[in-house]
Amino acid sequence: MKLAFFDSGIGGLSVLHHAMKILPHEEFIFFADEDNVPYGTKTPEQVLKFVDEAIAFLVAQKSEAIVVACNTATSVAVRKMREKYSVPIIGMEPAIKLALDKFPNRKVLVAATPITVTGKKIHQLIERLNAQDLTELLALPNLVEFAERQEFCSAAVENYLRRELTKYDFEKFSSLVLGCTHFNYFKDTFRKILPEHVRIIDGNAGTVKELIRRTNLKPREGLSTVKFFYSGREVTDGLEMKRLEKYMQRLDEMEGIS
Ligand code: DGL
């Protein structure tokens, strides 16, 4: 089955990386909107237009299901895209419910982009879960820039995160929910800074589960294929392929950090 994964940039590779392990027999397309990344600091109107263009491209490629592997794009545009296109569209949701189910009555810190933390969608989710007193939201836009330039582990990354996280009394928190797919590249630095008892939770497994549910796919043995696109241009250049491989290796290294 032809399955498309879309993100503003390379964050969505973390969802693709997981999907390729669970579904090793499918035909994958990955679309990174490298011309327009980052989305999280733009206006919702701009993001809606970018997402619409990307989905139109992926529909034209005959994608049979599209995963919006971007919390920001999901927050702004997924409802409208489902109204416009008939292909199944699966979005990302910050895994707040998972964190609260695992650790009832303990606080959850959700890190995401500025658009996601101010958007209606996350506030509706928190209300639905009746978790207003148990949830804090933190925007970390610089991590998107660090990830795009492959600066995964540096003094600048660590200083930025230490500065941002120092304002929380983590004794009250059970977990940090990664509400932006770009943040998966920094699990080791988060782990280094956060107290041992605070778990790092991402939404990748939940999204792939939802993809399987919506498509009725059965995991089968075999070899997957994957094509990469930057804003509609297929990536074939050796250097760019190397860049993408480096992200996949980084995700291998981050696996198991929680
Ligand atoms: N990776 C995206 C997310 O999950 C957005 C990053 C950005 O473009 O600002 O929200």
What is the Å distance from ligand 1's center to 221 Cα? 32
Q: Delimit the CATH 3.40.50.1860 region(s) of the chain.
A: 2-92+204-254, 96-201
Paired sense of beta strands 89-90 and 225-230, if any:
unpaired
Q: What angle do CA 157, 161, 162 make, to 5 degrees?
A: 115
Task: Evaluate: CB of 11 within 6 angstroms of ligand 1.
Answer: yes
Predicted confidence at residue 133, as pLDDT, reads 98
Paired sense of beta strands 135-139 and 65-68, if any:
unpaired
pTM: 0.96
Residue with tokens 């409802």: 79
CA 96 to chain CA centroid, Å, is 14
Would residue 180 show up in a list of annotated catalytic residues for this protein?
yes
DSSP string, 80-101: HHHHH--S-EE----THHHHHH
CATH C-level class of 2-92+204-254: alpha beta
Task: Evaluate: CB of 189 within 6 angstroms of ligand 1.
Answer: no
Would residue 153 show up in a list of annotated catalytic residues for this protein?
no
pLDDT tens track, the chain, 258 positions: 999 999 999 999 999 999 999 998 999 999 999 999 999 999 999 999 999 999 999 999 999 999 999 999 999 999 999 999 999 999 999 999 999 999 999 999 999 999 999 999 999 999 999 999 999 999 999 999 999 999 999 999 999 999 999 999 999 999 999 999 999 999 999 999 999 999 999 999 999 999 999 999 987 888 889 999 999 999 999 999 999 999 999 999 999 999
Read off the amino acid at residue 189: T
Q: Which conformational region is residue 105 in: left (phi greater than 0), alpha (psi within -120 to 50 degrees), or beta?
A: left
Q: What angle do CA 207, 208, 210 make, to 5 degrees?
A: 65
Task: Evaluate: CB of 203 within 6 angstroms of ligand 1.
Answer: no
Residue ranges in the chain assigned as alpha helix (H): 13-22, 44-60, 71-84, 96-102, 114-118, 120-128, 141-148, 155-165, 187-193, 204-215, 238-254
Q: Which CATH architecture has domain 96-201?
A: 3-Layer(aba) Sandwich (3.40)
What is the Å distance from ligand 1's center to 206 Cα? 18
Residue with tokens 């860049």: 243
Task: Evaluate: CB of 148 within 6 angstroms of ligand 1.
Answer: no
